[in-house]
Amino acid sequence: MSSTAFRSLVGAALLFATVASAPAAAQHDDIVETAVAAGSFNTLAAALDAAGLIETLKGDGPFTVFAPTDEAFAALPAGTVESLLEPGNRDALISILTYHVVPGRVTAEQVVELDRATTVNGAEVRISATRSGVRINDSNVITTDVLASNGVIHVIDQVLLPPETETAGAEPMSRRERRDARSAMDLMALAIDRGVPLFNDGHVGSTAAIYEIATRSVLAGNLDLPRTVTRALERGVAEAERTHDLRDRAWVYRGAMDRALDALEGRMRMAVRDRH
């Protein structure tokens, strides 16, 4: 990470640490007991029970849990939670839940110094921090440092879906979908290649402009792209429009493109595997 990027992340540390820092919890309560006592993680608790992960998260750990609220689960497509709780979908449920858990006790102050973290699932989550907020993938961190005897909870407003879940069950890609995916990936990669040296030289406004042009061009290009890709870019545009600091705006667009590229790369890998 460049020194400029590092300073930008550290500049977000105070905001992240005070986004809505939770009152100190009773340190003798483990992660599961702490979540249940909070009263806003009933769906998460039910999912952990169905997945057989209760005893794991009551163990020594330590663990860091990015915990979606009941409202976050309710925002999933209708029937998703009920389907995941069925015994036949236990493996998928375990994959999703373990994607919310990072080994070790990672506090808010430490999180903002990272740009990625490897979860118990084995896949990485992306961490993007600016002075306007902190995101884990596409979710916003709304409460930090809910302490437990065996770890720490950070509350998020969306359920995190591991890459294999977002592409699982997808239909084989058509020739047009493959062509459009490559076009979008090439355009975003070119923007990043041009933007990074400009950003590191202090030309943050030019970088933000390049990233914005690329992002909006992909969205306006009548390309046949997965919804996860366009959603990531649309959220980036919406957040950037609320961000007046050019450095932060560049980071917002870069994070949106990174998420879109990850989704496209995962979809392309899935398509290659399907052809074999």
124-130 and 133-136: which strand pairing?
antiparallel
What pLDDT digit, counting tens, does each position of 146-174 carry? 888 888 899 998 888 887 655 444 456 78
Q: Which of 188, 176, 167 is nearest to 223 (CA)?
A: 176
Backbone angles phi, psi at 112, to 5 degrees: -70, -10
Percentage of residues of the chain with pLDDT beyond 70: 82
Question: What's the chain's length in residues?
Answer: 276
Q: Which of 212, 62, 214 is nearest to 152 (CA)?
A: 62
Half-sphere exposure of 94 (CA within 13 A, CB side): 11
Are the C-beta atoms of residues 105 and 152 closer than 8 Å to each other?
A: yes
- Segment holding 134, helix H or strand E: strand 133-136
Are the C-beta atoms of residues 85 and 48 closer than 8 Å to each other?
A: no
Distance CA 237, CA 214 (A): 11
At 111, the pLDDT band (50, 70, 90 cuts) reads: confident
The label of the residue with tokens 């990470």 reads 1
Please name the residues in contact with 211: beta carbons below 8 A apart, sequence gap of 6 or more. 191, 192, 195, 250, 253, 254, 257
At 132, the pLDDT band (50, 70, 90 cuts) reads: low
The per-residue DSSP string of 72-128 comes to HHHTSPTTHHHHHTSGGGHHHHHHHHHTTEEES---HHHHTT-SEEE-TTSSEEEEE
What pLDDT digit, counting tens, does each position of 63-76 carry? 899 999 999 888 88
Tell whether the model's pLDDT for residue 13 goes beyond 50. no
What pLDDT digit, counting tens, does each position of 238-248 carry? 888 988 899 99
Instruction: Give the residue-averaged pLDDT of 185-197.
Output: 93
Instruction: Give the residue-averaged pLDDT of 89-101.
Output: 87
Give the model's pLDDT for residue 119.
85
What pLDDT digit, counting tens, does each position of 172-182 carry? 678 888 889 99
Backbone angles phi, psi at 148, to 5 degrees: -135, 170
Q: Which of 27, 28, 30, 62 is nearest to 45 (CA)?
A: 30
